[in-house]
Amino acid sequence: MQKVVISGTGLYTPSSSISNEELVASFNGYVEQFNSRNAAAIEAGTVAALAPSSTDFIEKASGIKSRFVMNKSGILDINRMKPDIPERSNDEWSILCEMAVKAATEALARAGRTAADIDGVIVACSNLQRAYPAIAVEVQEALGIEGFGFDMNVACSSATFGIQVAANSVQLGQARAILMVNPEICTGHMNFCDRDSHFIFGDACTAVIVERADQAVSDCQFDILGTKLLTKFSNNIRNNFGFLNRADDSGVGKDDKLFVQQGRKVFKDVCPMVAELIGEHLREFNLPVSDIRRFWLHQANLNMNMLIARKLLGRDPEAHEAPVVLDEYANTSSAGSIIAFHKHQEDLPSGSHGVICSFGAGYSIGSVIVRKH
C-alpha cells in the first residue's frame, strides 16, 4: 500500500460578491412588491404575507456577511431572483468545467505537477450540471490529462468523500496522482424568495491533488493518515430536482425542486453526530484532541462550527483552531472545508495534525486526518 499525501490545493473565487446589505435590499424589495400585488388575497387570508429580512437576522443566524456569486445581477433583480447564467453550446467548455480548470491550475502549480503527472480526475460536488457525459471527463479533456474521470455527489460532504476515493486509488496503485475538484454554483439551487434560506449559499470551486508520498515534490504536503465516512438518511435537507420532474407537470417549478431544509432539526441532529465521529476517528489513531492543531470544518453555519469545536475541545475554540471563511464566502457546500484548508494551512509547523471535516445532506459526514509533512 502506497503512502498518500495532499500535495496541492487550488481555489477559484468568482469576481462578483453580494453583501448582506445588498441581498436584504433586494429581498425586501421583492417582499414589498409581492405583498402589494397580493394585497387583496392577503387580506382575504388566502395568501400569506411575506416578512422582510434584515442583516442582523442573517449574521446572527449564520455568521455570513457576504458571498461570492457567478452572477450578481440576476440574483438582485426583484423580478427574477435567480442567477442569470446562459446555457453554452456543446462545443464550449461548460461553466463547471471552466471553474474546475481554474482551481485545478492553481492546485497543480502548488503541487509542482503538470497534467502529465495526473492519472485520474474526480468531480465531487453537490449539484452536477448535467447527467452525462461526466463533468470530470470534460475537465480531463480540457486539462489534457490521460487516464480516467468520473463524477460523484454526496452533497456538502462530496469533497471529503472524494478525498477518500482519491486516496484509495493512489494507495492501491491504480493511479500515481488524482485531481479532485469541487465546482459549486450553489446559488443555482437557492430559493432567493425564501426569508429563512435566501442568504445561505455562495459559489466557488476548490481542487485537491492527492498523490503518492514517495513521488511528491511540493513544499507543503500533508500526509493522509486516515479517512472516516458516515451517512444516515434524513429528509431535513432535501432537493427534489431531477430528471423525472418532467414526468409530473404538477411539480414543475415548485419550491421543493430547490434547496429546502428544516434548519433547527439539522442543527440538533448533525452537531453531536459530527463531534462524535471526529472523536471516534481520533481515538482510532490514538490521537488526543489536544494534539489537533486545526479543525477545517464545513462552512455552513458559524454556530454549528463553534458548537462542534466546543464539544471536541471542551472549551470555546481559538480563531486559529477552527478557521472561518463563511463570513466572506457563505456556504459553498463541498468546497467550504477545502477553502478553509487552502487558506489556513501554511502557518502550521511540520508534524502538526489537523482534521478536514464536512457534513450535510444525507445526512453525510466525512473526516480526514492529516499531518503536515
Which residues neighbour 263 within 8 Å (Cβ) at sequence distance 6 or greater?
196, 197
**Cell numbers describing residue 30:** 421583492
Known active-site residue 156? yes
CA torsion 370→343→295→205, rounded to 10°?
A: -80
Angle formed by the axes of helices 302-313 and 263-284, nearest 10°? 30
Q: Which among 97, 125, 156, 186 is annotated as catalytic? A: 156
Neighbours of 220 (CB within 10 A): 17
Pairing mode, strands 203-212 and 260-261: unpaired
Catalytic residue positions? 156
